[in-house]
Structure 1
Amino acid sequence: MEVEAAGAPVAIGAPRQRCVLAALAVDAGRPVPVQTLIDRVWGPEPPQRVRHALYVYVARLRKVLGSAGSGGHRPAVTRRAGGYLLDVDPDRVDLHRYRRLVARTREPGCPAADREALLRQAVRLWRGVPVADLAGEWPARLRRSWAQEHLDTVVAWADATLDVDDPTASIGLLTELAGQYPYHESLAAALMRALHAAGRSADALHHYARTRRRLVDDLGTEPGRDLQSVHQAVLRGDAPRPVRTPAPVPRQPDTGIAPAQLPADLSTFSGRTDHLRLLDAQAVPIVAIAGTAGVGKTTLAVHWAHRIRDRFPDGQLYINLRGFDPTGPPVQATEAVRRFLDALGVPAERSPTGLDAQVDLYRTLLADRRMLIVLDNAHDTTQVRPLLPGGSGCLTVVTSRNQLTGLVAADGAHPMTLDLLSPDESRQLLAGRLGADRIAAEPEAVDDIIASCARLPLALAIAAARAAVRRNHPLAALAGELRDAGARLDALAGDEPYTDPRAVFSWSYRALSADGARLFRLLGLYPGPDIPVAAAASLAAVPPKHTQVLLTELTLANLVVEHAPGRYSLHDLLRAYAVERSESEQERRAATHRLLDHYLHAGCAADRLLSPYRDPITVAPAQPGVTAESFADAQQALAWFTAEHECLLAATGLAAATGFPVHAWQLAWALGTVLDLRSRWDDWLRTQHIGLEAAQRVPDLDAQALAHRLLGRAHLRLNRPEQAAVHFQRALGLFQEVQDRTGEARVHLDINAVLQHPDGYRRAIGHAAQALDLYRTAGHRLGQARALNAIGWSHMQIREYRSGIAYCQQALAIYDDLADRSGQASVWDSIGYGHHHLGDHAQASRCYRHALDLYRELGYRYPQAATLDRLGDVHLATGDYANARQTWRRALTILDELDHADAPRVRAKLRALPDRRTWTLAALSRW
C-alpha cells in the first residue's frame, strides 16, 4: 500500500496503522462502522483494548494525512455516527479510479474505441500485488477478490481490442496471466479469441488442448460451454465473439429499502469456529457448503451471512430451493429468479418473458451492487447456476446435501464440506440450550448423549429439546433412552419431518439409484470405522469399478464420507438408518459371509508375504462375488494390514457375533504375524481370545491348539510369563492329542522363551532340544534353525558363549540357505551377544548392526529396540559413553512408543551414565 503527495511517497507508519488506512480507503467517501474496522484490522480475535488501539491509530493517521496534499485536496479521517470516514476524492484512490473507468464502459452507447481506451487505462493501474505489505485474513481476502476483478477487467479489455482490430495488444498480458491461472476458462477463451484474430489459430487450438488437459487431469471436468464454443469457432474458421454483458436497464425508483431476506440467526449458535474462520478468509464470489442431512449447513450459512451482512450495503437475498423437500418438487429457476426480481423492485409487468431474459435482467441489476445471496438447500448445479450474479461485487452462498462439483469446477466456487461436530463443539451446543451448570453436573451422561447422537447437530438439538422440557429428569435418563442403537432413531423422532432424523435421512435416501440404495443398506452391516472399495464390492457382490461409481453417488449425496482416498465411512445414526432399511435375513447373512471371506482370504495372502515360512492353515474357497486382493510384495502386504487394522479387528468380532466361528479363529490366526510385528500386543491378545472361544465352539482341536499357542505368545510379549505358560501347556497337550509334531515343536520353543530366567535356563535348553529333535524328524528346516538359535541363546545365558555361538552359526547357515531375513536378524543378534561377552566388542558391534539393518528393512519395532539396547551395552563396555547414550535413547524412543515394560530399565541405564564433564576428564586422563 502506498500514499503519495506531490509525487513523493508518504510514510504511513506501523503495519496496523497501514491496515486501518486501507480499511478506510476501500470505502473512501463512505463511513465505515467501528466494528467493521476492528474486524478488518484485527480479525476474529482482537485484543482486549482494541477500540483504544483503533483511536490511537486514527489519531496518528490524521497527522500523517495532514501533510499529504495541500489546501482543499488534503485527505482527512473524520468521525461519523458509529464509525469513521476517509474524506478524499475517490479518484485519488487507485481502486476507485480503476472501478470508475470500468463502470464507464458499461454506459449505454459507449463507443468501441472509448471502451478499449478506458479498459486499457484501468488495466495499467494494476501494479503488482495489492496490499502486499499487509498481513491478516482481511487483506488476504482483498487480494483474492481484487485478483478476480482484475482478471475480469483484463478479459473485457482483451475482447475490446478485438472491436478496434488490435488483438495483438492483449496477447502478452493474457499469456502471462494464463500461466498464473491455468484453470481460468474465461481467460483461456479470451486468449484464444485474441490469438485467432491475430492469425495464430494453431496457437489458439494448442492453448485449448493444454487447458482442457489440465482441467481433465487435475479437476476431472471438461471445459465449460463458453470455452468449447470458442474452440468450435476456431476450428470452423469463424471469428469467435465474446458473450456480451446485457446493457443495463433503468432501475426502478429506489424505495430506500434494501432487501433483507435472511432468516433469523440462531441465538444459541456455537462451534464451527474453524469453518467460520475459513469462510471469513474467502474472497471468491461463490461458496458451496455441502454436508449430510442434519449436519447444520443452513444454520452455518445463515449465521455467517448475518456476521458479514454489513459488507453488502445493497441488501441480502435468500431462497430455500427445496432440493430435498418431501412436500413437493424443487423450486424451479423461473420461480426463483422471479422472486429475486420482485425483491429488487421489478414489477411483474416490467419483467421480461422467458428464463434467459429474466436472468439477464437479474444479473444486470446486480452488476454494480454489493449484495449477499443465500441459495439454501439446492438439489444440483443446474438449479443454482441461473441464480449466480455476473459481477464481482456480490457473494453467493449455496448449501446442498450434494457435492456441487460442477459449481466448483466450472464456476470457481469455494467448496466446504461440513463434518460432524467435534466432542467439544457438541458440548457447547448442549450447554447453549440446557445451561452450562446442567451439562457440568452430569459429564458422563453428556458424553453418552453426544456419542448416541453421533455428534450430528440435528440429533443433538432434538436431544437438548427433550431434556429442556424434562427439567426435573436427570440427563442420565435421556442417555439411557438413546443407548439402544436399535431404538435410537425412535428416541430422536421429532414432531415434524424437518426435526426427525429418520425423515430427514429418507429424503436423501429416496433420491438414490436402486443399486446405490442397496449398497447404502448393506453398508449398515459393516463393522469397521471405514470401508475400502474392495471390501464394499465384496459386501455387495458388485465389481469394484461399479462399486466405485455407487460410492461416488453416496458421497455426492453426503450419505457417506470419503475421509481418505478410497476409504468411506458413515456416522452411527446413518448406519442405524441403513440397518432399518436393510435386506432380508438371508441376504444380510450372505453379505456378511462375503465380507468375512474377503478379509480372511486377503489376510492370509498378506500374511504369506510377511511370514513366507509360516505353516499355512486350510481356508474354504471364497463365496461368489468376493473381490480378491493381491499384493506385489511384503511392503504392500504390510501397508494393507496397516490400513485395514481396525477393520480386521472388527471383522474378527463380527464373525464371532454372527455365527461364523471358523472365520473368527482363522482371522485371529491370520492377524498373528502382523500384530506381533507392529507390537500391537493388546490387540493380539483380544483377537486371540475371540479366536480361542470360536475354536472351542466349532469344536476343532487343531484350531484350539493354534489359538492357545498364539494367545500364550501374546501374553509373553506383554511380559506375563505365568499366563503364557498356562496356554502353552494346554497347546502342547492338544498338539500331542492330534499328533501334530511340528506343533509340539513350536510350543517347546515357546516354553523355552518362558524359561529365560536364571532358574530356568537349563530347562529351557531341554525344551529347545526337544523341539530340534521333533523338527528333524519332520524334516522342518526352518524349525531346526529356530531351535538351534534358541539352544545357542540359552547356552549363552549360562556363560557358555563359544558353545552358544556354534549353535547359532548352524542356525545362520540354514537361515541363509532359506533366505529368511527375520531368522537371520535374530541369529545375528544372538551371535553379537556372544561376542560381546567374550570381549570381542568390535565383532559384537558388527553383528548387532547387521541385525539392526535387517530389522529396519522388515519394520520390526521391538526387536530393533532390544538390539539397540544390547548395542548400547557394547558402547558402554568400550567407554564410548556418547554412543551408548545415543543408542539407548533410540531404543527408549521405540519402547516408549510401544509402552513396553523394558522402558524403565533402559531409562535407568541412561540415568546411570556419567555426565559429559566426566567423559571429558576421563578422556584427558587417557591422553
Structure 2
Amino acid sequence: MTQRAESPRTELAGRLQAIQKLSGRSLRELERATGISSSSLSRYFAGRSLPPWSSVVALCRLVRRDPRPLRELWELASQLPPPPPAAAVRPKVAGRNDLPLDVADFTGRQEELDAVRQSLLAARAVAIDGMAGVGKTCLAVHLAHQLAPEYADGQLYLDLHGFTPAREPLEPVAALRMLLAALEIPTADSLAGVEELAALWRAELAQRRVLVLLDNVADAEHARPLLPGAGASAVLITSRNRLVELDQVPPVSLDVLGAADGIELLQQASGPGDRVAKEPEATAEVLRLCGGLPLAIRLSAARLRHRPGWTIGVLADRLRTGSDHVDTALSMSLRQLDHGQRRTFRLLGLLPGATFDAYVVAALTGSSLAATQTSLEDLVDSHLVQEPRPAVFRLHDLVRGFAGRLATAEESSADQRQAVVRVLDYYLHSAAAAGKLLRYAYPDETPLPCPAPAALPAFAGQEAALAWFDEEYPNLVEALTVGSDLHVSRLPRLLRPYYFRRAASADENRLLEQALAAAERLGDPAVVAAVQADLGFARYSAGRFPEALQYYESAATTMPESASLAVRRGYLHQDLGETSQAMELFRSAAELFDRDQQPKGVAHATAFQAWAAYQLGQLDEAAALARTALALQSDAEDWPPPITALVTLGAAIGATDPAGAIAYLTDALRLAREDDHVQNQAWCLNYLAVALREAGRYEEALATHRKALQLVEDSAERQWAVNFLNSYAETSLAAGLADHARAIYQQALELAESTGYAHEATVARAGLAAVSQ
C-alpha cells in the first residue's frame, strides 16, 4: 500500500474540496443540488466530520465523476479504534444527576410533554424546537426530572451554547469529552477525532440506562455525534432550529402559551396575592405585550414579585416601553444567519400587515423569488418566522418589533422607504392582475404608475384570484396606512372587482374616501373625477342615494361624456323611481360606447335599457333589447356574463312563456354562481321564483324567494332585500297567503322609504292597497 503523507481523513477532505471547486457551486447551491446541508458540507470539506459514503457518491455524481476510486480512502478514514481490552472494567456512576433545577411554576404544555414521552419510547431521541423564549429548556428540564427514576444510571445535562451571547458553540469533540468524563470514562489522547469519541460514547451508552439532555444545540451536525446507538439510553435535545436533517429524531415544536396558561403562569410566578385576578383587562394586556412567551411572562412576573406596590396596570405601562430581554434572546438567533438572511429578517419588520408570502418578501428585499423562498425556509427552521399555513408566513409580535428595531438601526431611512415602496408597487400590480380575472363592468385600465416587480403570483382563474384577495385583503388595507398618495389614490380602485363579489360596500366607501383625499392632494383632475365616480357607485351600493348623486355630478363636470358614468347614473335614477331618465342615460351610454368602438360596453348598456323597459311595463321592448344584448355579448368571450339580459328576458316573457322564462333564469343563476356574486345570485333566484309563480308552482316559488332573501341576510348588504321583498309578497298573495303578503309588503315599504328606493316604495304601496281590497 502506498505510504500516505497525510491522514486519510485530511486527504479525503482535500478530494472533496476539489470536487466543490470543479462544480463551481457555493455551499448553498450544493445543498440544493445534493440534499446535504450546507453546515454538513462545510464540516466535510474542512475535515471536521467524515461524510457517509452516500454523500461522497452524491458529490461525485454531481460533477460526473466515478466515486469508486475514493472508496478505499473513505474506508481508511472510517476505521474506528479497537475496542478497549475486555479486562478493562468501566465503572458505572449510578444515580448521577446533573440536571438543572426544575422550575416550581411550570404551567401547561401537557400535550407537548406527552408527545415527547411517546417519541422517546419510539426513537430514544427527541428534538424540542421553538423560538427564543418559548420555554424549550424549561419543558425539557421539567420532563427530565419526571423521567429520572426510569434512568437509573444517571441523568446528564450539557449546554452546547449554540445561541449563548459572546460565546462560541461547544464543538462536538469537546462535548463528547465532557460527557464521557461525566461517566468517568477516560479518553486517551489517541482518541482525538469526533468519530472515535462518538463511537466510544455510543458504546458506553449502550451499556447503561442514561438520560442525556443536550441543551441549546445549534444545528443537526452539532447534535449528530452525541446521539445514542443501541441500548436503552435516551437523549433530549433543545434547539431554536428545526433539526430537519436528523431524520431519525422526531421533532416536537413549541408554540406560545395560550391565554389560560399564560394567566396561570403570571399568577404563579408573581408571588402571593390576587393582583392578577383583580385586573383581568390589564392582565390580558400584559400577556399580549409578552406575546405568550414564557420567558417574557416570567421576567415580567419577577418585576411584580419584587415590587409589591405595583398593580398589573403599572406593569403593563412599563412593558409598553419595550422588552430588551427578549431582544437579547432573539439576537443570538441571528448569529447563524448569513448576510442575506439577516437583511431579509430585519426588513420583514417593515412589512405592513400580519401575514406575507414569498412574492411580497421578494419585492420587499428586491431579491429573486427562488432566493427569497430559500431564505424564508431557513428563517422558519430558525423559528424567527412562523408558517401557520403552507406558503403563508407571519412574525410573532415580539419578533416583529425586534426586526423593526433592527431595520431602523441597520438600514438607512432611504433604504427603508424604498423597501416599503417596492411592496406597495407589488400590491398594485398583484391587485390589478387578480382583478382582471374578476369580471367587472368598470375596470381601471389606466397604466399603473410604478414598475412591475420581478415576480407576480400566477392566477389560474377567478377562483385563484378571489382566494388571493381573501388572503391578502387585510394586508392590502394595512398597506394604505403607509402608502404614498400615488398608491392610496389607486389601490382602492383596483379592489372594486373584489368588493363587488364580497358585498363589502362599507369598506369600499371608507377606502375610496381615502383615495379621493389622496387624489385631491396629487392635484390631477382626471384622477379626482375617476375616484369621485367610483365613490358615487360605492355610495349607491350602500343605499346612500343623495351622496351618490352628489359624487356623480362632481365627476360629470370633468368627464361630461363618460359612458361608464352614464350607466352608473342610470342605476341610481332607476332606483329613485326616475325610470324614464334612467332609460335615456342607458341609451346615451350605448351610443357613447359605440362611438368609442367598445362593443362590450354597448351590450352592457343595452341590457340595462332592457331592464328599464321592463320596469316601465314595456315587456315586448324589454325582451327585444335583452335579445340584442345577448347577441352582442356572444361575440366576445371576455365580456361579463349576460346575467342582466337573461334575467330581463326571463322576467319579460314570464307571463306568456313560463317554461322559457324558467330556462333563461336558471341559466342566469348558473352564471351568477360561477361569477360568485351574492347580489346577482339573489336577483336571479328572485325572478326565477317569479317565473315559477307564473307557472303555478307556488311552493317552489316561495322556497326560492326565501333562498334569495337568505343570501342577502347572510351578506353585509342587508339593504339589498328591498329589491326582492315586493316580488315575494306578490307570490305570497298569488298563493293565497294574504296576511303574509301584507306583512312582506309592509316590510318592503319601510325598508324602501328608509333607503330611498322610491320605485320599490311605490310598488309596495300598490301591493298593500291590493291586499286591502
> What residue is the counterpart of 1:252 in the other structure?
90
Q: 1:767 Cα deviation (Å)? A: 4.4
Note closer, same or farther for the CA distance 1:817–1:295 as it changes in structure 2 (3 Å cut): same
Q: Which residue of 2 aligns with 1:432?
A: 268
Letter in 1 for 2:437: L
What is the deviation of 1:363?
1.2
Whichever residue aligns with residue 721 of structure 1, its letter is G
Residues 1:828 and 2:646 aligned together: yes
Cα distance change, pair 385–688 in 1 and its aligned pair in 2 (3 A):
same
Q: 1:907 to 1:774 in 2, by over 3 A?
A: closer
In structure 2, how many angstroms separate the alpha carbons of the residues matched to 1:273 and 1:887?
51
| Cα 1:684/1:482, change in 2 over 3 Å | farther
Q: 1:675 to 1:302 in 2, by over 3 A?
A: farther
Q: 1:811 aligns with which of 629, 654, 668?
A: 629
Report if the CA contact (8 A) 1:713-1:750 is conserved. Answer: no
Q: Which residue of 2 aligns with 1:685?
A: 509
Whole-Å Cα distance in 2 between the matches of residues 570 and 867 of structure 1? Answer: 44
**Compared CA separation, residues 445 and 502, structure 1 to 2 (3 A):** same
Paired with 1:346 and 1:237, the residues of 2 have a C-alpha distance of 35
Q: Name the SS of the counterpart of 1:293 in structure 2.
A: coil
TM-score scaled by length of structure 1: 0.65
Which residue number in structure 2 is paired with residue 328 of structure 1?
167
Partner of 2:431: 603
Verify: 1:448 aligned to 2:285, yes or no: yes
The one-letter code matched in structure 2 to 1:381 is A
Q: Is the 1:268–1:432 contact (alpha carbons within 8 Å) kept by the matching residues of 2?
A: yes
* Offset at residue 621 of structure 1 (A): 5.2
Separation of aligned partners in 2, 1:679 and 1:622: 29
User: SS in structure 2 opposite 1:407?
Assistant: coil
Give how far 1:761 is off: 4.2
- Given that residues 749 and 771 in structure 1 are in contact (C-alpha distance below 8 angstroms), is that contact kept between their aligned partners in structure 2? no
Tell me which of 700, 710, 718 is aligned to 1:901.
Answer: 718
Structure 1 residues 876 and 428: CA distance shift in structure 2, 3 A: farther
Aligned to 1:840: 657
Going from structure 1 to structure 2, the CA distance change for 1:254 and 1:298 (only over 3 Å counts) comes to closer
Equivalent residues of 1:246, 1:364 under 8 A apart: no
> Kindly tell me: are residues 237 and 781 of structure 1, through their superposed partners in 2, closer, same or farther at Cα, counting changes over 3 Å?
closer
Question: Cα distance, 1:401 vs. partner?
Answer: 1.4
Aligned match of 1:118:
none
1:586: how far off? 1.0
Q: What CA deviation, in whole Å up to 9, does each residue of 1:787-833 have, x standing for no partner?
A: 33223223333444333223322222222223355341232123223
Indicate the residue corresponding to 1:517 in structure 2.
342
Structure 2 residue aligned with 1:135? none
Alignment counterpart, residue 242 of structure 2, candidates 392, 403, 418: 403
> Structure 2 residue aligned with 1:618, among 431, 435, 446?
446
Question: Is 1:418 the equivalent of 2:254?
Answer: yes
2:433 equivalent to 1:594:
no
For the 8 Å contact 1:712–1:725, the answer to whether it is kept is: no
Kindly state the Cα deviation for residue 884 of structure 1 after the two structures are TM-superposed: 5.1
CA displacement, residues 433-477 of structure 1 (integer Å, 9 cap, x when unaligned): 347953343333233333333333322333333344444433333
Q: Give the drift of 1:897.
A: 4.8
Q: Which residue of 2 aligns with 1:735?
A: 556
Q: Is the 8 A contact 2:353 2:478 kept in 1?
A: yes
Counterparts in 2 of 1:880-919, with a 5 A limit? 880=697, 883=700, 887=704, 891=708, 894-895=711-712, 897-901=714-718
SS at match of 1:317: strand
Aligned to 1:747: 568
Q: Secondary structure at the match of 1:832?
A: helix
Residue 371, structure 1, aligned to residue 210, structure 2 = yes
Q: Which has the higher contact order (CA 8 A, sep 6+)?
A: 2
CA distance in 2, matches of 1:866, 1:467: 61
Quote the residue 2:672 is aligned against: 855
8 Å CA contact 2:80–2:196 kept in 1: the answer is: no
Structure 1 residue aligned with 2:28: none
Shift of 1:774: 4.5
Q: What secondary structure sits across from 2:108 in the alignment?
A: coil
Q: How much does 1:663 deviate?
A: 0.9
Contact 2:282 2:312 in 1 (8 A): yes
TM-score (norm 2): 0.77
Among 511, 520, 528, the alignment partner of 2:353 is 528
Q: Look up the SS of the partner of 1:581 in the other structure.
A: helix
Q: What amino acid sits opposite 1:811 in the alignment?
A: A
The equivalent residue for 2:767 is: none
Of the three residues 386, 392, 395, the one matched with 1:561 is 386
What is the letter of the counterpart of residue 645 of structure 2? V
Question: What per-residue deviation string (whole Å, max 9, x for no partner) do you get for residues 570-590 of structure 1?
Answer: 122222222222211111121
CA pair 423-828 structure 1, distance change in 2 beyond 3 A: farther
Q: How far apart are the structure 1 equivalents of 2:585 and 2:487?
A: 33
Native 8 Å contact 1:716 1:754 kept in 2: no
2:519 corresponds to 1:695: yes
1:278 and 2:112 are equivalent in the alignment: no
Q: Aligned partners of 1:854 and 1:480: how far apart in 2?
A: 56
The one-letter code sitting in structure 2 at the alignment partner of 1:732 is E
Q: How many angstroms apart in 2 are the aligned matches of 1:261 and 1:339?
A: 12
Query: Secondary structure of the equivalent of 1:362?
Result: helix
Matches within 5 A, 1:608-757: 608-611=436-439, 614-620=442-448, 622-623=450-451, 626-629=454-457, 631=459, 633-655=461-483, 660-717=484-541, 720-722=542-544, 724-752=545-573, 754-755=575-576
| Letter matched to residue 255 of structure 2 | D
1:516 CA displacement: 1.6
Whether the 8 Å contact between 2:125 and 2:236 is mirrored in structure 1 is yes
Cα contact 2:425–2:453 (8 A) shared by 1: no
Distance 1:501 1:614 in 2: 50
Determine if contact 2:586/2:606 at 8 Å carries over to the other structure: yes
Instruction: State how far apart, in whole Å, the 1-side matches of 2:273 and 2:450 are.
Output: 54
Confirm or deny that 1:543 pairs with 2:371.
no
Q: Residue 772 and residue 295 in structure 1: after superposition, are their counterparts in 2 closer, same or farther (change >3 A)?
A: same
Looking at structure 2, the residues matched to 727 and 904 of structure 1 have their Cα atoms a distance apart, in angstroms, of 19
**2:52 matched to which residue of 1?**
225
Cα distance change of structure 1 residues 631 and 335 upon mapping to structure 2, 3 Å threshold: same
SS in 2 for 1:287: strand
**Structure-2 separation of matches of 1:519 and 1:234:** 38
Cα 1:215–1:739, aligned 2, differ >3 Å: closer, same or farther? same
Give the Cα–Cα distance (whole angstroms) in 1 for the partners of residues 604 and 642 of structure 2: 10
Structure 2 SS opposite 1:592: helix
Question: CA 1:683/1:459 → structure 2, altered by over 3 Å: closer, same or farther?
Answer: farther
Among 263, 272, 281, the alignment partner of 2:100 is 263
| Structure 2 contact 600–639 (Cα < 8 Å) conserved | no
Residue of structure 2 in register with 1:208 after alignment: none
Q: Structure 2, unaligned stretches of length 5 or more?
A: 1-31, 42-49, 61-65, 738-773
- Deviations along 1:526-575, whole A, 9 cap, x unmatched? 10222222221221122222222322332232221233333332122222
Contact 2:205/2:229 (<8 A) preserved? yes
Please state whether the residue corresponding to 1:568 is helix, strand or coil.
strand
1:571 to 396, 416, 430: 396
Per-residue Cα deviation, 1:661-694 (whole angstroms, up to 9, x for no partner): 1111211111111222233444333322322222
1:445 match: secondary structure:
helix
Q: 1:363 touches 1:389 (CA, 8 Å); kept in 2?
A: yes
User: CA 1:613/1:682 → structure 2, altered by over 3 Å: closer, same or farther?
Assistant: closer
Question: Counterpart amino acid of 1:898?
Answer: S
Give the secondary-structure state (helix, strand or coil) at the position aligned to 2:634: helix
2:163 & 2:514 partners in 1: Cα distance?
45
**1:462 aligned to which of 288, 293, 299:** 299
Q: What is the distance in 2 between the residues matched to 1:251 and 1:800? A: 109
Q: Residues 904 and 853 from structure 1, CA distance in 2 versus in 1: closer, same or farther, beyond 3 angstroms?
A: closer
CA RMSD of aligned residues (A): 4.0
